[in-house]
Amino acid sequence: MVITPKLSYNPDCSEDDTDQGIQCEEACYREYYDCRRKCIRDSDCKRECATKKVRCENGCPCRINCFGGCPCDDYKCTSCQELHSTAQIVCVQKCHLDNNVNYCPYTNLTCMDAALDEYESCINTDCPCKAERKFYGCDSSLDMSGSSALAMMSGINKAVIHRNMTEKTLQDNGFAKYFEIGALEPGPRLNDFLRSHPQTPELFIGCKHKLLNETLGIFISPKDLYLQTHFTYFDLSYARSSREYYVYYSDTYGEPFGFTEDQRIRLQGSDEFDCHNQGLPASKCAPEMMDDHRMTAATTMGSISLLRCGKNSKSNTQSFVANYETVGFYAL
């Protein structure tokens, strides 16, 4: 009888779990190095260190005691997002630059759809965390039979603007946070955070006060979010209809993104239609005079991102930039 020895390493492990295994083995080696350094000339001590190293490595993802990959009993796997956060943002930025709908004429929706499809293909093929992504679109394997794409989520209507959504509610219904960025926070632009999610059929994007757990936000598909069009500053415009609200993502200065329950908008930094309609400048429009359903965020400005969150804006709330933030969640 021929006995086939069990492999000590799983060659069929996913790319993400293999990366986790490498991180684990490097940690085992660091522990071994520290252990050996303390042994000096003690041979028994050195043998014990070597035994611990083997035991440690065998418990790593894709090794003999965790052959199928994460999760493992002896090693705490981190998410791929945490493991490759910087590389993922850089890769997503490149995909966006290579497949930007801004290169399309405003009226050419076919060109825009093709650019968005290429963008999705790029992040799924070239960027880290492929195993955490899910396909969506016309060829999606998502089962929509007998239900609407705007299905109720534990009694939550995903077609409307929400004023008091909580992080726990989103987590309980299969959403994970992938960014939160203050209104005035140095670092990458908001656009880089918006596009840093794994491939997903749906996002929840909104804004909130940092000390409160109630978010003003919308459920939206990535393809609908990234459809960029032209809106003129300091003039009456009409936002694009999406579900039971209206959304805009303009190619004008700062490339503002936002949503509203009223199709009429007037961009002058943030959407100030409600103030202008009362004959007031934004700085003279107190929070109680403003609509509670409007949000505006500049996606490409390095100085400030969130411009308005409901009734509060950088123009009418003194501590706005210090206290408000934009948040994003993606469907797992």
**What are the tens digits of pLDDT across the range 21-63?**
888 998 898 899 889 989 988 999 999 999 999 999 999 999 9
Q: Whole-angstrom Cα distance, residue 4 to residue 211?
A: 60
Tell me if 99 is assigned to some domain: yes
DSSP 78: P
Tell me if 179 is assigned to some domain: yes
Chain-wide mean pLDDT for the chain?
83
User: Does one domain contain both 208 and 326?
Assistant: yes
Helices (H), 59-187: 80-83, 85-98, 109-126, 167-172
User: Does one domain contain both 123 and 52?
Assistant: no
Q: Whole-angstrom Cα distance, residue 217 to residue 86?
A: 26
User: Does one domain contain both 93 and 205?
Assistant: no
Q: How many CB atoms lie within 10 A of CB 328?
A: 23
User: Does one domain contain both 229 and 122?
Assistant: no
pLDDT at 11 over 70: yes
pLDDT at 206 over 50: yes
Q: At what angle do helices 85-98 and 109-126 cross, to 10 degrees?
A: 150
Tell me if 4 is assigned to some domain: no
Specify the pLDDT at position 85.
65
Domain endpoint, select from 40, 55, 78 = 78
**Of 199 and 102, more confident:** 199
Tell me if 107 is assigned to some domain: yes
User: Does one domain contain both 158 and 110?
Assistant: no
User: Does one domain contain both 239 and 184?
Assistant: yes
DSSP 198: P
Containing structural domain, residue 22: 15-78
Q: Which of 127-131, 218-222, 236-240, 261-265 has the lowest mean pLDDT?
A: 127-131
Asked whether 276 and 283 are in contact (CB, 8 A), the reply is no
User: Does one domain contain both 197 and 94?
Assistant: no
User: Does one domain contain both 273 and 198?
Assistant: yes
Q: Whole-angstrom Cα distance, residue 317 to residue 331?
A: 33
Tell me if 141 is assigned to some domain: no
pLDDT at 316 over 60: yes
Specify the pLDDT at position 140.
36
Specify the pLDDT at position 146.
34
**Of 220 and 227, more confident:** 220
User: Does one domain contain both 207 and 275?
Assistant: yes
Tell me if 7 is assigned to some domain: no
Q: Which residue has the tokens 């790319």?
A: 15
User: Does one domain contain both 219 and 102?
Assistant: no
- When divided into structural domains, the chain yields a total of 3
| pTM listed for this prediction | 0.59
Q: Which of 86-100, 128-142, 296-310 has the lowest mean pLDDT?
A: 128-142
Q: How is residue 237 written in tokens? A: 């415009």
Specify the pLDDT at position 141.
36
- For residues 205-230, give the mean pLDDT: 93
Tell me if 143 is assigned to some domain: no
pLDDT at 7 over 70: no
Tell me if 8 is assigned to some domain: no
User: Does one domain contain both 225 and 247?
Assistant: yes
**Of 146 and 22, more confident:** 22
User: Does one domain contain both 259 and 314?
Assistant: yes
Specify the pLDDT at position 95.
76
pLDDT at 147 over 50: no
